[in-house]
Structure 1
Amino acid sequence: MKICSKKRGIIINSLYNPLFQSLTLPNGVILKDRLGVAPMTTYSGNPDGTVSDAELTYYKRRSNIGDLYISACIAISENGIAFPNQFIGFDDRVMPRLKQLASEMKANGSKAIIQMQHGGRQGQPELISTNETVAPSAVTSPNSTTVPRELTNEEIQAIIRDFGETTRRVIEAGFDGVEIHGANHYLLQQFVSSYFNQRDDEWGGTLQNRLKFSMAVLKEVQDIAAKYADDSFIIGYRVSPEEIHGETVGYTLAETKVLVDLLIENGVHYIHTSLFDFKTPPAGVTEEGSIVSILSKHINGRVPLVVVGSVKTPQDALEALQEGADIVAMGRQVLIDPEWTEKVKAGNEKDIFTTIPKKRVGKLDIPESMWNLITSYKMVQVAED
């Protein structure tokens, strides 16, 4: 028998009440639920780096999923563009469209967060005016023969300032916060990695030195936020919990714990862990449990832990909370069913789509380039009606 409770004028199966409990961030901002939208690259910006009409429609359609709404990553430097049609944050001419994006993301009261990123060695040379990629060190990856150019100290300082300048534009555009992208093999992660960072100056060598870039970016973002925003401005940080390429180890979960401690000690408002599945165990670690449970125990309530990875149903979301997440973000699932949260609130969770029926193809406000990519790589499944 379904037991329902009333909450804010809606009917929710009481089993799912934990998903709609409020949460207070360290800066005092109250999130009204434990749900969020994970950042997903759209490949659908305008050729000039501004947000497109298709993206505005896409973001508004998903503005009722959860209170923490994180955008696709915005390129903070011209030499860090990592995707075709990625929107950019390093030029004031993008401001009108950024303001529209903030408005659409906040259409149903969510906190609009822009994820900021520099591609580093993952940048696309053909999209960069110098036709080259830059990185902490000039080393190839295990899966590539491309050798990026090593950044000079002056260039590192310039990129740090670029994070600050993009933060200023984000504040002016009306966003509620930023997420610093330190995951998915982009520049910040490359500095943390002992494999990709083989520098012998202040930015490399020991773990403490390899973490300096992350901390310098955080401080720059905080300084700009203190100057141009109030205390309600949210600053999060996304991590890939470990980096292991076969037998080659860039860093371990134990080293990520050191980074997490530094981020918390220096005032970050949440930690976001990037995973394909929230139940994933760590590699080569004797500590029992999933990465999420281990990190959650280590954080011990000091800041919220945002978790993403294979959450499709409200039961999955509950299990992620039980695993140690404070906020459950969804990626592919909000592409498949933008009305996910509305259905849960109405007690109609049985009507949630976990695959895309053919009759709904073309009716989900997914930009064409993004749709072509996710279907060609089978990131979402189109099912027979």
Structure 2
Amino acid sequence: MKSLFDNVKIGNMISKNRFVRSATWENMTEDGYINDKILNIYEDLAKGEVGLILTGYANIVKEEQPNPGMFGIYDDSFIPGYKKLCDLVHQYGSKIVLQVAYGGTKTTYNLGERTIFAPSPIPEKGTGTLGKEMTVEDIKYIIEAFGQSARRAKESGFDGIEIHGAHTYLINQFLSPYYNRRTDSYGGSLENRMRFLIELYESMRNKVGKDYPILIKLTATDFFEGGLSFEETKIICKKMEEIGIDAIELSGNIHGKGESLVGTFFNGFEIKSEGYFSEFAKEISTLVKIPIITVGGIKTFQATIDLLNSSNISMFAISRPLLAEPNLIKRWKNGDLKKVKCIRCSKCRNKDGNYCIIP
């Protein structure tokens, strides 16, 4: 029988258990640099026995910041602060991975003050934001920026780096036939639509070497007709394993709508009440040998152990329950399985930062 407290190997990184703090935007830095508030948050998570901590997303170029309060990784000046963060987390035996992203049109932040890249001039369905169709020179610029972010992550002491390729961010849009209407080598067939992602991965890998863990977060399906389908995602996941990605976190493009979609079927798979995308992750876990991480709606120990023992899923990512109880994994480990404090009210997003407001 498998245990949620088994070690898990991702490349050459070993997590002490199967629990992941999914990337959570803290919104607690005005300039992108690490501060004491952020250090305290991550220290509490590490003390709370989270095996693998994924950071809130970091922007890879200075001019592209899809939300306020994000981490930065666009120049070397961020490295000293991240070294302090990594050293702190490692004191408690947890691993920490930097998530990097280009948000693109999945934003309404500072729209008039910057150029936002997109594969094609198609408004994002949720925000209505329209981006500038990227030239090949623009594409090469962003690919190099992702590569430099990986170099900086390794120099900072992070145990790995995660590419955010989900949630209608730029990479997801290149993969999606709805958002990617290009007629050059970066559009059209799925092979062409994957080219941007493959090239930025190669840029990262070339700068960190073959042994440094690189993870990717992908969307299972775009959840609308004409978008990226799960059949295509299965092909993408197999390709990611082939090129050297060390683990895949499978998510979806249904921000804030998970509970309202429970019981709904997409591409033949059901949105579950716990582990919204776990049925998709189960399928992917039968197709690849690298670790699969499922994320979305997980909040009870029993549901998590049931998922573990009914699938090949390796790890389980949690966000909001850990905002409410950063010590949740530790109390589960100690046998305290009482109901979690989190009630999924989504009131944890506040102007002065993202944190649980339940007393």
Q: If the length of structure 2 is used for normalisation, what is the TM-score?
A: 0.86
CA RMSD of aligned residues (A): 2.8
1:39-66: CA deviation from partner (whole Å, max 9, x where unpaired):
0111111x33212221111111111332
Find 1:257's aligned residue among 230, 234, 256. 234
Q: For the residues of structure 2 that align with 1:92 and 1:121, how far apart are their CA atoms?
A: 26
Question: What is the deviation of 1:121?
Answer: 1.6
Residue equivalent to 2:9 = 24
Inter-CA distance 306–144: structure 2 relative to 1 (3 Å threshold): closer
Alignment of 1:197-236 (within 5 A): 197-226=180-209, 231=211, 233-236=212-215
Instruction: Mark the structure with the bigger radius of gyration.
Output: 1
> Matched residue of 1:19: which SS?
coil
Residue equivalent to 1:162 = 145
Q: For the residues of structure 2 that align with 1:309 and 1:143, how far apart are their CA atoms?
A: 19
Q: For the residues of structure 1 that align with 2:247 and 2:264, how far apart are their CA atoms?
A: 21
Question: What is the deviation of 1:298?
Answer: 3.8
1:276-326: CA deviation from partner (whole Å, max 9, x where unpaired):
47x967744246897534443443251111011222221122123235321
Q: For the residues of structure 1 that align with 2:263 and 2:187, how far apart are their CA atoms?
A: 28
Question: What is the deviation of 1:334?
Answer: 0.6
Find 1:271's aligned residue among 239, 248, 257. 248
Q: For the residues of structure 1 that align with 2:124 and 2:107, how far apart are their CA atoms?
A: 13
Inter-CA distance 335–218: structure 2 relative to 1 (3 Å threshold): same
Residue equivalent to 2:54 = 70
| Contact residue 251 and residue 295 of structure 2 kept, 8 A | yes
1:213-240: CA deviation from partner (whole Å, max 9, x where unpaired):
11111111111111xxx72x21110011
The one-letter amino acid paired with 1:296 is: K
Residue equivalent to 2:161 = 178
Residue equivalent to 2:316 = 328
Residue equivalent to 1:348 = 336
Q: Are residues 1:241 and 2:220 paired?
A: yes
Residue equivalent to 1:5 = none
Inter-CA distance 90–287: structure 2 relative to 1 (3 Å threshold): closer
> Matched residue of 1:271: which SS?
strand
Q: Are residues 1:152 and 2:138 paired?
A: no
Q: For the residues of structure 2 that align with 1:335 and 1:369, how far apart are their CA atoms?
A: 11
Q: For the residues of structure 2 that align with 1:122 and 1:287, how far apart are their CA atoms?
A: 25
Q: For the residues of structure 2 that align with 1:142 and 1:353, how far apart are their CA atoms?
A: 33
| Contact residue 84 and residue 127 of structure 1 kept, 8 A | no
Q: For the residues of structure 1 that align with 2:138 and 2:149, how far apart are their CA atoms?
A: 16
Question: What is the deviation of 1:352?
Answer: 4.7
Q: Are residues 1:292 and 2:278 paired?
A: yes
Q: For the residues of structure 1 that align with 2:168 and 2:270, how far apart are their CA atoms?
A: 26
Q: For the residues of structure 1 that align with 2:270 and 2:74, how far apart are their CA atoms?
A: 43
The one-letter amino acid paired with 2:316 is: V
| Contact residue 218 and residue 249 of structure 2 kept, 8 A | yes
Find 1:319's aligned residue among 294, 306, 309. 306
| Contact residue 54 and residue 367 of structure 1 kept, 8 A | no
Alignment of 1:59-208 (within 5 A): 59-63=42-46, 64-123=48-107, 126=110, 131-208=114-191
Q: For the residues of structure 2 that align with 1:288 and 1:48, how far apart are their CA atoms?
A: 41
Q: For the residues of structure 2 that align with 1:314 and 1:254, how far apart are their CA atoms?
A: 30
Q: Are residues 1:52 and 2:35 paired?
A: yes
Residue equivalent to 1:11 = none
Alignment size in residue pairs: 343
Q: For the residues of structure 2 that align with 1:344 and 1:145, how far apart are their CA atoms?
A: 42
| Contact residue 307 and residue 320 of structure 1 kept, 8 A | no
Q: For the residues of structure 1 that align with 2:351 and 2:45, how far apart are their CA atoms?
A: 13
Q: Are residues 1:37 and 2:34 paired?
A: no
Q: For the residues of structure 1 that align with 2:262 and 2:289, how far apart are their CA atoms?
A: 23
Q: If the length of structure 1 is used for normalisation, what is the TM-score?
A: 0.81
Question: What is the deviation of 1:347?
Answer: 1.9
> Matched residue of 1:166: which SS?
helix
| Contact residue 343 and residue 351 of structure 1 kept, 8 A | no
Q: For the residues of structure 1 that align with 2:91 and 2:262, how far apart are their CA atoms?
A: 34
> Matched residue of 1:250: which SS?
coil
Question: What is the deviation of 1:351?
Answer: 7.0
Question: What is the deviation of 1:203?
Answer: 0.6
Question: What is the deviation of 1:131?
Answer: 2.0
| Contact residue 108 and residue 129 of structure 2 kept, 8 A | no
| Contact residue 272 and residue 307 of structure 1 kept, 8 A | yes
Structure 1: which 5+ residue stretches go unaligned?
1-14, 357-363, 376-381
Q: For the residues of structure 2 that align with 1:125 and 1:34, how far apart are their CA atoms?
A: 35
Inter-CA distance 143–289: structure 2 relative to 1 (3 Å threshold): closer
Residue equivalent to 2:255 = none
| Contact residue 105 and residue 127 of structure 2 kept, 8 A | no
